[in-house]
Amino acid sequence: MNVAWALLWKDLATEWRSRDRIVAMTVFSFLIIVVFQFAWPNMEPEQIVQLAPGILWVTYVFAAVIGLGRTFSTELENDAMTALALAPGNRGWIFLGKATATWVLITAVQAMAGLVFALFFRVDLTIGLSGTATIVALANVAICSVGTRLSAMSVRSRFREVLLPVLLIPTLIPVLAAAVTGTTATVAGEALALTTLQPLIVIGGIYFILCFLLFDFVLDE
């Protein structure tokens, strides 16, 4: 557990000094939102309810791919991957520390992107804010779990920038389907029901447990 805490604070402190991932994800998110705004400049309220959740989650996922691609970049650039693999204790704690740090960074960027999205598309933030935030937090558990594991698998590949999204996005289809469905309901002003959250809880739990248990084999590859 100490390894997880050490990696968590190390990654957050490193990112606070460099801000590489946060800046890249934030700028990319803003650009996607601007492009979609130019594509649909005068949407009616009914269209916003139908299209906004899909646009929002496309923005979130592609921004997350950028952040996840840099999860192990510091260790790779400093030839510290072997030292990381030799850390004492279960290697699942390495996964937990890395995934948690990535979750914090991605969620922070998504919060900023959500504010810009609401401004551009005239979405009332007072409607379904808590429900949408809950959906985003749960979906990010699955995204960061799978993304951290796949990032560790592809970090030594020369084609890691291409390999990660090719492997990651298909595995996130169930997560995106549940997240878009839930966000559509909350944006429309519907109360957040347990049946809406259940797919995200189940999928996120399965992804997290599998990635935690199987991470021991990733660093041996």
**pLDDT exceeds 80 at position 133:** yes
Closest listed residue to residue 219, CA positions, set 12, 80, 38, 61:
80
10 Å CB burial of residue 112 (0-12, 13-18, 19+) is middle
Say yes or no to pLDDT of 161 above 80. Answer: no
At 51 the pLDDT is: 82
pLDDT at 192 over 80: no
Total domains present in the chain: 1
For residue 205, the model assigns a pLDDT of 94
Q: What pLDDT is recorded for position 85?
A: 65
Interhelix angle 194-218/92-121, nearest 10 degrees = 140
Tell me the per-residue pLDDT of 75-126, one tens digit each, with 9 for 90 and over. 666 666 666 666 666 777 888 888 999 999 999 999 999 899 888 887 776 7
Is the predicted pLDDT of residue 18 greater than 60, yes or no? yes
More confident residue, 145 or 161: 145
Cβ count near 148 (within 10 Å): 28
Contact 8, 100 (CB under 8 A): yes
Q: How far is CA 59 from CA 67, 157, 209, in A?
A: 13, 26, 26
Quick one: pLDDT at residue 108? 93
The residue-averaged pLDDT of 133-144 equals: 93
Instruction: Say yes or no to pLDDT of 221 above 70.
Output: no
Q: Which residues of 114-129 are buried (b: 16+ CB within 10 A; e: fewer)?
A: bebbbebbebeeeebe
More confident residue, 160 or 219: 160
Q: Per-residue confidence at 156, pLDDT binned at 50, 70, 90?
A: confident
Note the pLDDT of residue 42. 73
**Neighbour tally for 190: CB within 10 Å:** 14
- At residue 220, φ and ψ (nearest 5 deg) are -85, -15
pLDDT given for residue 188 in this prediction: 77
pTM of the model: 0.88
Please check whether residue 103 is in contact with residue 21, taking contact to mean a CB–CB distance below 8 angstroms: no
Which tokens hold the place of 55?
């646009």
What does the pLDDT average to over 28-47?
82
Among 101, 220, 78, residue whose Cα is nearest residue 153: 220
Domain that residue 45 falls in? 2-218
* Helices 45-69 & 20-39 angle (0-180, nearest 10): 150
